């Protein structure tokens, strides 16, 4: 018995545009048949994909669209929402905390980059260098990631306690004066950055380690033969070879740190003197303390737009740098 493919080849008439005696229509037909077969073969995958798409549409995309609509509406969840134009945005701009929250968030992001970007990279380089007990040190670095964020925050709250907390007790034991840590508007944000860096550096370090593992050993050997020291090896081999991972992680970290919430919510409640009120904390207050979902959605839309614009600009910039 002939295959469907061969029978279709016989059935289609030749055309003037045919090459090597093969009619173009039959080529088209072959393409269609191939497509049909492929669709049939992957039907299960498409079915599962559809279910996933439905879930995404309902639980991810619909809330996003609804959020955008809410930011232009006043809602009480009893009567139909009323359109208020840009009133919610105007309300936000009038709130004296709005500017403070953005300033604090940018400060947190800046500080988190200094520590959260550099420290894991250096840790990864060190972990990559050591020869013995590698697995132990990797686990030790990753352990904090396994703690739930709220537990981490509460634990550090005790570390920072200006009375009998761990840090001040340790400082007191060696005769040094204790700090105010979270209780001073000068140090509160920095204290939160430390917590965030400590809690999240495990994952970042592992990604760096994986990237470092892909660098061919010959490059280091060649560099060493050329007399390159640690810094020169880092500068001329490690950085260029891990550049892509570094750039992607930098972007991810900025996007993540701009959304900081758990640490200020649990540890300082935005204080002292509003020095740790972040965009997400203010958004949370609008939504769940003031029950103003319109203003909260407007705030999240602003954050979304800011991060979207930043990400697009960043990707463009890195692509340009790559091309040059």
Partner 1 sequence: MSSPWSRTVSRRMLCLLTAGGLALTLAACGDGDNAAQTGGKVKITVTGQPPTSQPFERGVFDADVKEFEASHPNIDIDPHEGFMDPKTFSAKLAGGQLEDVYYVYFTDPAQIIARHQAADITEAAKSVPHINDIKPELLDNFRDASGKLYGLPTMNYTMGLLYSKPLFQKAGLDPNKPPQTWDEVRDAAKKISALGNGVVGYADYSKNNQGGWHLTGWLYSMGGDIARKDGDKWVADFDNDKGKKALQYLHDMRWTDNSMGAKQLLEATDVQRMMGSGQLGMYMAAPDNVPVLVKQFNGKYEDYGIAGMPGGEGTLLGGEGYMVNPKASPEKIKAGLEWIQWKYLNPDRFEKHIQQYVDGKQPVGLPAEPTPDVWTGAVREQQLALKAKYANVPAQNFQSYVDTTSKIKGSIEPPNAQQIYAALDSVMQAVLTDQNANIDQQLSSAASKVNSVLAQVK
Among 13, 21, 85, 96, binds partner 1 (CB under 8 A): 96
Stretch that binds partner 1, among 88-96, 128-136, 208-216, 220-228 (CB under 8 A): 88-96
Among 68, 190, 247, 274, binds partner 1 (CB under 8 A): 274
Q: In this complex, which beta carbon is closest to partner 1, that of residue 23 or of residue 179?
A: 179
Tell me whether residue 74 or residue 311 sits nearer to partner 1 (CB atom). Answer: 74
With binding defined as CB under 8 A, does residue 161 bind partner 1?
A: yes
Q: Is 8 left (phi over 0), alpha (psi -120 to 50) or beta?
A: alpha
HSE, side-chain direction, 13 A CA sphere, residue 224: 6
Calculate the alpha carbon distances from 76 to 81, 85, 167, 271 in Å: 7, 16, 47, 30
Considering only 7-15, 74-82, 115-123, 220-228, which stretch makes contact with partner 1 by CB under 8 A?
Answer: 74-82
Identify the three-state secondary structure at position 293: helix
Least distance (Å) between residue 110 CB and partner 1:
22
Which residue, 116 or 264, is less far from partner 1 as judged by CB?
264
Q: Which of 21, 85, 163, 177 binds partner 1 (CB under 8 A)?
A: 163
- 31-39 long-range Cβ contacts below 8 angstroms, 24+ apart: 33/4, 33/5, 33/8
State the Cα–Cα distance between residues 23 and 27, nearest whole angstrom: 7
H or E segment and range at residue 73: strand 73-74
Residue from 3, 16, 17, 79 that binds partner 1 (CB under 8 A)? 79
Q: Which two tokens stand for residue 148?
A: 């739930």
Q: In the set 8, 27, 128, 180, which binds partner 1 (CB under 8 A)?
A: 180
Q: In angstroms, how far is CA 96 from the centroid of its own chain?
A: 29
Number of residues that bind partner 1 (CB under 8 A): 42
Measuring CA to CA, how many Å separate 97 from each of 24, 188, 213? 69, 17, 46
- Using the contact rule CB under 8 A, the part of the chain among 20-28, 91-99, 113-121, 212-220 near partner 1 is 91-99
Q: Which helix (H) or strand (E) holds 83?
A: strand 82-83
* Residue 44 or 60 having the CB closest to partner 1: 44
Rounded to whole angstroms, the Cα distance separating 219 from 75 reads 61
Q: Which residues bind partner 1 (CB under 8 A)?
A: 40, 43-44, 47-48, 50-51, 54-55, 58, 76-79, 91, 94-97, 161-164, 178, 180, 182-185, 268-274, 285, 288-291, 293
């Amino acid at each position: 018995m002939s295959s469907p493919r061969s029978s279709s080849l016989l059935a289609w008439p030749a055309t003037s545009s045919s090459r090597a005696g093969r009619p173009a229509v039959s080529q088209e037909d072959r393409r269609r048949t191939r497509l049909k077969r492929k669709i049939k073969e992957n039907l299960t995958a498409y079915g599962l994909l559809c279910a996933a798409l439905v879930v995404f549409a309902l639980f991810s995309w619909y809330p996003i669209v609804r959020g955008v609509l809410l930011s232009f509406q006043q809602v009480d969840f009893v009567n139909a929402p009323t359109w208020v134009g840009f009133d919610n945005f105007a309300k936000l701009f009038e709130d004296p905390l709005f500017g403070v929250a953005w300033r604090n968030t940018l400060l947190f992001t800046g500080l988190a980059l200094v520590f959260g970007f550099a420290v894991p990279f250096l840790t990864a380089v060190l972990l990559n260098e050591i020869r013995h007990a590698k697995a132990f040190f990797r686990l030790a670095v990753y352990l904090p990631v396994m703690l739930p964020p709220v537990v981490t925050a509460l634990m550090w709250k005790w570390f920072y306690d200006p009375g009998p907390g761990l840090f001040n007790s340790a400082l007191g034991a060696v005769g040094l004066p204790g700090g105010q840590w979270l209780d001073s508007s000068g140090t509160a944000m920095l204290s939160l950055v430390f917590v965030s860096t400590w809690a999240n550096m495990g994952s970042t370090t592992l990604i760096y380690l994986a990237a470092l593992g892909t660098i061919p050993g010959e490059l280091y050997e060649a560099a060493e033969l050329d007399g390159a020291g640690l810094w020169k090896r880092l500068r001329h081999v490690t950085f260029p070879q891990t550049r892509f991972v570094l750039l992607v992680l930098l972007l991810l970290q900025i996007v993540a740190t701009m959304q900081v919430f758990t640490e200020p919510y649990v540890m300082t409640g935005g204080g002292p003197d509003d020095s740790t009120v972040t965009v997400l904390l203010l958004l949370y207050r609008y939504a769940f303390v003031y029950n103003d979902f319109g203003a909260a959605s407007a705030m999240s839309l602003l954050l979304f737009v800011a991060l979207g614009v930043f990400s697009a600009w960043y990707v463009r910039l890195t692509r340009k740098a790559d091309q040059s």
